[in-house]
């Protein structure tokens, strides 16, 4: 495939990703949709075939997401769970660091990665950076065997939601740092699930759009996890205080 086609494809994927993210967490107060999507919606309400095409399109997107996040059982059978985890992380364009190593294994902008990680068999993974990837709850099963996982960065992941946070209880003994800032699907109910991570030392919950009362939630989180240092930027605390004043 030529380079322009590749960039076009990646562009479409990223825009599809953003569309998914926007559709999922923004309700009617979102920015107005583009002309194309409004036209499609108009026709979909009047013609069955357009409705079918749109439902196929969304089903295709969901299937792609599911296929990317499948359990890498085949890899695990031949190379062991740690290599399977490493391969999964690299396939999703994330990065990781093995226990005892200092260098990070990452993909470049074209999605290509170095196969040197195959040399480190049976070395568990210590730090994982899956920011801006499409990891979801089923994909978390690929990281399940990592009992030495200390850092997990999930900044800006559109598919990380409350159920994903509830699934992090598997790492309750080892996890020390968690970064879930800018994830558009996390709500206060999911943050309550972080109570299982008793060993957590650093937590980043900046700019979570679906938290309506960030000040209160941050205080409750600090009470719930006393040993943890919580970073919460990107919230407009002053304007919410003003609203309280005028409401009285």
Site for other proteins, rule CB under 8 A:
23-25, 27-28, 41, 44-45, 51, 54-55, 62, 137, 162-163, 165-167, 169, 187-193, 195-196, 198, 213, 216-217, 220-221, 223-224
Burial class from Cβ neighbours inside 10 Å (0-12, 13-18, 19+) for residue 28 reads: exposed
Spatial neighbors of 146 by CB under 8 A, at least 6 apart, are: 82, 85, 124, 125, 128, 171
To other proteins, the closest distance from the beta carbon of 205 in angstroms equals 12
The per-residue b/e assignment along 111-149, b for 16 or more CB within 10 angstroms, e otherwise, is eebeeebeebeebbbbbbbbbbbbbbbbbbbbbebbebb
CB 131 within 8 A of CB 153: yes
CB-nearer residue toward other proteins: 99 or 166:
166
To other proteins, the closest distance from the beta carbon of 171 in angstroms equals 12
To other proteins, the closest distance from the beta carbon of 71 in angstroms equals 15
To other proteins, the closest distance from the beta carbon of 101 in angstroms equals 31
CB-nearer residue toward other proteins: 28 or 102:
28
To other proteins, the closest distance from the beta carbon of 178 in angstroms equals 15
CB-nearer residue toward other proteins: 3 or 244:
244
Burial class from Cβ neighbours inside 10 Å (0-12, 13-18, 19+) for residue 192 reads: middle
CB-nearer residue toward other proteins: 106 or 145:
145
CA 195 to chain centre: 19
CB-nearer residue toward other proteins: 51 or 126:
51
């Amino acid at each position: 495939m030529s380079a322009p086609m590749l960039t076009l494809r990646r562009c479409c994927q990223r825009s599809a990703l953003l569309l998914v993210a926007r559709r999922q967490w923004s309700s009617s107060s979102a920015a107005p949709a583009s002309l194309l999507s409004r036209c499609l919606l108009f026709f979909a309400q009047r013609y069955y075939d357009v409705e079918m095409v749109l439902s196929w399109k969304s089903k295709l997107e969901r299937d792609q997401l599911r296929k990317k996040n499948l359990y890498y059982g085949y890899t695990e059978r031949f190379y062991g769970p740690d290599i399977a985890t490493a391969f999964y992380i690299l396939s999703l364009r994330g990065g990781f660091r093995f226990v005892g190593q200092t260098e990070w294994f990452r993909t470049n902008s074209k999605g290509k990665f170095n196969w040197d990680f195959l040399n480190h068999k049976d070395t568990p993974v210590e730090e994982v950076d899956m920011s801006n990837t499409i990891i979801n709850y089923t994909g978390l099963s690929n990281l399940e065997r990592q009992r030495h996982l200390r850092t997990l960065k999930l900044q800006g992941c559109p598919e990380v939601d409350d159920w994903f946070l509830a699934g992090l209880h598997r790492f309750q003994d080892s996890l020390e740092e968690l970064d879930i800032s800018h994830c558009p699907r996390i709500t206060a109910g999911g943050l309550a699930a972080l109570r299982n991570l008793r060993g957590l030392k650093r937590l980043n919950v900046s700019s979570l759009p679906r938290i309506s009362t960030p000040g209160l939630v941050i205080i409750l989180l600090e009470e719930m996890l006393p040993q943890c240092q919580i970073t919460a930027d990107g919230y407009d605390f002053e304007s919410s205080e003003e609203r309280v004043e005028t409401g009285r």
